[in-house]
Amino acid sequence: MAKIFDKPSNKWIEVPNETYAEYMKYCSNHRKRMQAHGLCKCPRAKWWQCDTVCADCIHQNLPETVSLDEPVTDCSSEDEMELLDVVVDGSELMEELLCDADELNHLLKRLQELMPEALKIGKLRDDELTDTEIAERIGFCRTTFRSRLNKVRKILKKEFPEVF
């Protein structure tokens, strides 16, 4: 029988050797991970206290947090500014997202014009069917199917170069 220290009750608990080995391995892996990230400064002599509950541990090494309203000096100049001033505004990202969605709609509409069975082909590819099986299902021979796909790809590549 081995003993594990229970921090909340401040007592030693006897457990089977297998349980002890499993528990200590889990605690050691967790502690090593936290130490690698700089979040734990537990000395080797106190490893027996580790129970992986870092929030309650006296050896935790939390990074210093700074308020977004706190003035900081800019490295390139002596001017003071607030971190809130340099937080990225999400509106530009939303515009990009809307533009990308609009471009995707145009691409899909053009693809539908060039090859009406394109959406069905996409669904069949999602089902992990081979080109031969897809060609049979849409009523083409495999070579015709491949040549039409290549032709449509070339046209779309010219019309939508930023996508391809």
| Residue 155 belongs to a domain | yes
Q: How many CA atoms lie within 13 A of 2 on its CB side?
A: 12
Domain holding 6, by residue range, is 2-56
Domains: count for the chain: 2
| Residue 63 belongs to a domain | no
Query: What confidence score (pLDDT) does residue 82 get?
Result: 75
Per-residue pLDDT of the chain (164 residues; tens, 9 = 90+): 999 988 888 899 999 999 999 999 999 999 999 888 888 998 999 888 888 888 888 888 877 776 777 777 766 666 777 777 766 666 667 788 888 899 999 999 999 999 998 888 989 989 998 989 998 998 888 898 889 999 999 999 998 888 77
| Residue 81 belongs to a domain | no
Helix axes 118-126, 131-138, angle to 10 degrees: 140
- Residue in 45, 55, 51, 54 with CA at minimum distance from that of residue 12: 51
| Residue 121 belongs to a domain | yes
What letter does residue 26 receive in the DSSP assignment?
H
Residue identified by tokens 């490295």 is 75
Question: In whole angstroms, how far apart are CA 147 and each of 40, 52, 69, 144?
Answer: 60, 60, 61, 5
Query: What confidence score (pLDDT) does residue 59 get?
Result: 86
Query: What confidence score (pLDDT) does residue 23 get?
Result: 92
Query: What confidence score (pLDDT) does residue 89 get?
Result: 66
Do residues 66 and 83 touch, judged by C-beta distance below 8 A?
yes
Query: What confidence score (pLDDT) does residue 77 get?
Result: 64
